[in-house]
Amino acid sequence: MIAEWKKIEKKQFAPIYLIIGTEDYIINETKKRLVANILDTEDTDFNYANFDLDETAIEQVIEEAETIPFFGDCRLIVASNPSFLTTEKTKSKIEHRTARLEDYLNEPVDYSILVIIARVEKLDERKKLTKLLKKQATIVDAKRPNDAELRKWVQSAIKNNDFSMEIPAIERLMELTGGQLTTAMNELDKLMLYKLESREISVADVESLVVRSLEQNIFLLLDKMIALDISGALSIYYDLLKQKEEPIKILALIASQFRLLTQIKLLEKQGFSQQQVAQKLKVHPFRVKIGARQAKSFSYEQLTATLERLAEMDFEMKTGYGDKAQKLEWFLFSLQDQRVK
């Protein structure tokens, strides 16, 4: 659990919180805990306000924070998207009198809690206001977790709920949810509800209950092909067709994955680590981890040749040449001969 959450649960509140990062699970959980511990159910309507700074000026937010609570002891004011603290360009035409925020940071009221949410990797540290905010606020780090951090999140949730889950099951959960914390925790909640009686979660439970996205099914399909499990790969493909997924959409995702494998292969040849590859390609480290494993089964030349064939198939499908579903099926058959033996 995040250290700030423990203090919130103990009702040890800071007057100002700054949440920085793009991980929705941490952002939403922080808000949920603040609401639950600061506000009573009956006064939420009166003493809770949520603003989008792309639509509301910061001085209006400060005015709300300086308003005395109504039927309660404390107000909770949340403001998101502070573009004036970042280097990002915004289409918003709102002009912010940031001097009002600066004054408030120096002298916050004792009857309101102000939460500023910046869904960005980092703020513009050159700005005087950013420096002041980071000095005066309690910071909640909402960055997306890496592989090891995600594993700790899952293990902590399992322990806190008095469940047991074998390591291979945890790894499979992480794999099927694409290394996404929000998705992993939602699926874990579902698994715990299903196994409420035995309180033990196995790999089989994960395989049968975790919902796979279309992208995850493509990863799994390629894994089956690499393992020369053509029947397993075709079974996934036929299931996707039954779910009314268009062959051309499946083809596009397969091409996207092979493009990623090609880029990973090239960058690894140049000596980049998986973490560096993820940063360079701006993709989740977990996707790079899976991609690096899959790329080992192909030479660079085989990957580029496969990409060329996929581009040809895309053109053929879009121009109405041949049966789309059958064309992709034959591609899957041919793919097993392309891998490194």
Q: Which residues of the chain have pLDDT under 70?
A: 1, 336-341
Which residues, 6+ apart, have CB-to-CB distance to 49 below 8 Å? 61, 64, 75, 76, 77, 78
83, 9: one domain:
yes
Q: Which CATH number fits the domain that encloses residue 281?
A: 1.20.272.10
Residue where the block lists tokens 């990062």: 21
10, 137: one domain:
yes
Is 279 part of any domain? yes
A 10 A CB-CB count for 156 gives: 11
- Token pair in block for residue 131: 């420096």
Q: Under DSSP, is residue 213 helix (H, G, I), strand (E, B) or coil? A: coil
Is 341 part of any domain? no
pLDDT of residue 92: 79
225, 309: one domain:
yes
198, 219: one domain:
no
Is 340 part of any domain? no
168, 251: one domain:
no
Q: Output the CA angle 18-20-25, nearest 5 degrees.
A: 105
pLDDT of residue 341: 47
Is 261 part of any domain? yes
Q: List beta partners, residue 48.
A: 76
Is 20 part of any domain? yes
Instruction: Compute the distance between CA of residue 274 and CA of residue 284 in angstroms, rounded to an integer.
Output: 10
User: pLDDT (tens digit, 9 = 90+) per residue, 10-60?
Assistant: 999 999 999 999 999 999 999 999 999 998 877 777 899 999 999 999 999
Q: Which CATH number fits the domain that encloses residue 54?
A: 3.40.50.300
322, 268: one domain:
yes
Is 70 part of any domain? yes
306, 198: one domain:
no
Q: List beta partners, residue 118.
A: 20
Rounded-to-5 percentages of helix, strand, coil across the chain: 60, 10, 30
20, 66: one domain:
yes
Residue where the block lists tokens 């922080």: 30
Tell me the whole-structure pTM to 2 decimals: 0.74
Instruction: Compute the distance between CA of residue 260 and CA of residue 34 in angstroms, rounded to an integer.
Output: 40
pLDDT of residue 337: 63
312, 258: one domain:
yes
Residue 11 is classified by DSSP as: T
183, 231: one domain:
no
| Domain final position from 119, 141, 163 | 141
Q: What domain range includes position 219?
A: 214-335
Q: Which CATH number fits the domain that encloses residue 169?
A: 1.10.8.60
For 261, 263, 264, the CA distances from 304, given in Å and listed in that order, are 10, 10, 12
pLDDT of residue 95: 87
| Domain final position from 141, 156, 187 | 141
Instruction: Compute the distance between CA of residue 94 and CA of residue 273 in angstroms, rounded to an integer.
Output: 42
52, 28: one domain:
yes
Total count of domains within the chain: 3
Instruction: Compute the distance between CA of residue 297 and CA of residue 341 in angstroms, rounded to an integer.
Output: 8
201, 231: one domain:
no
| Domain final position from 141, 162, 195 | 141
